[in-house]
Amino acid sequence: MRAKIIGVGSALPEKIVTNDDLARIVETNDEWIRTRTGIEQRRVSDDKTATSDLAIKAAAKALKKSGLAANQLDLIIVATTSPDFLFPSVACILQKELQVARAAAFDLSAACSGFNYALTVAANFIENGTLKNILVVGADTLTKYLNWQDRGTCILFGDAAGAVVLAPSKDDSGIIASWLKAEGSLGEYLTMPGGGSRDPEAKNGRFITMDGKNVFKFAVRALEESIKQVLAKANLTTTDIDLLIPHQANTRIIDHVSKKLGLPKEKVYVNLQKYGNTSAASIPLALDEALAEGRIHKGDIILLSGFGAGLTAGANIIRYSSSDYDKITS
Ligand code: COA
């Protein structure tokens, strides 16, 4: 048995911050940010908005599209590294707010790889017959953890949430292969030093710190490796991919890997110019937009691939059947 996506939804904060807006608070400029990252603007949540607020909106949309009632869900997994609290989890907040009476709920921490990790975990529960209907959300508000004086990081991130509902597939559609990895030895390249149990008072700062060059090197290597590995697991090659949805971090990373693998631009989905790097939300947000824009067709093979803090990487291949497609686009 396979797990297939039967509903997709996403949510964004309203406030848009452009590169020119950032140039007013830190020494940078629109041209530098566009050429080095591809980012033109990002969404930033206000003080009253926490990660669960965006997650609830995205999840409610995905649930509505799936045609399932909230009480039919067996499990909620939220991939996030910016939860409202250390506990309760964002997943438990969703369980309460969406009135998902009987679902178990937990958060999963794999940073920007979180959605691929959560999708893989959820698919396994369905494939082995343990659970039936699962809500998987990727949600982050990393702009709350940016040092707005650090031009190497504050230009990169934005806030968002994306969600999918998974159910058992009765045909050959669904998640056909998954691949995950971690390289904890490289963890120091992208960290949030303060606020955890090693430094509960955040004396070391509650801000994202990053060695951009080394993260870039890992990202290029991990994106290529994850695509090759997951294709090998599915017994497919790059020519079988109809649409690659990579983690939306930097167009230079995406272009470099696409070129190396011989993937033409029309087979690669990019929306990071509008949203920056939205961490765990980036792939489900892109999937939602790709569907809305008609970029996904009946029977298409979609490859989702990402990398992030940890350092981590992961990928999933999805085959869309016509019945999924009709449901999602209706
Ligand atoms: N605006 C203007 N100049 C900037 C700048 C900014 N926002 N940020 C850095 N610079 C300057 C640097 O100070 C440096 O100046 P110098 O040569 O006088 O010392 C120069 O630009 C080059 O800096 P460098 O850090 O080498 O740039 P880069 O080409 O590596 O680009 C990143 C920086 C962050 C865009 C790039 O390393 C990157 O995208 N890394 C991956 C990050 C990522 O994706 N993280 C999330 C993973 S999930």
- What pTM did the predictor assign? 0.96
- 152 alpha carbon, distance to own chain's centre: 21
How many C-beta atoms surround the C-beta of residue 267 within 10 A? 17
19 lines ligand 1 (CB under 6 A): no
Predicted local distance difference test score (pLDDT) of residue 328: 53
Q: Report whether 243 contacts 303 (CB < 8 A).
A: yes
154 lines ligand 1 (CB under 6 A): no
Q: What is the pLDDT along the chain (330 residues), one digit of tens a residue?
A: 899 999 999 999 999 999 999 999 999 999 999 999 999 999 999 999 999 999 999 999 999 999 999 999 999 999 999 999 999 999 999 999 999 988 999 999 999 999 999 999 999 999 999 999 999 999 999 999 999 999 999 999 999 999 999 999 988 899 999 999 999 999 999 999 999 999 999 998 899 999 999 999 999 999 999 999 999 999 999 999 999 999 999 999 999 999 999 999 999 999 999 999 999 999 999 999 999 999 999 899 999 999 999 999 999 999 987 555 455 554
Q: Rounded to whole angstroms, how far apart are CA atoms 73 and 79? A: 17
219 lines ligand 1 (CB under 6 A): yes
What distance in angstroms lies between residue 279's CA and the mean position of ligand 1's atoms?
18
Choice among 19, 92, 112, 116 that is catalytic: 112
> DSSP characters for 263-319?
--GGGB---HHHH-B-GGGHHHHHHHHHHHTT---TT-EEEEEEEETTTEEEEEEEE
Domains, the chain, ordered by start:
2-169 (3.40.47.10), 174-329 (3.40.47.10)
80 lines ligand 1 (CB under 6 A): no
Nearest CA to ligand 1 atom 9: 152
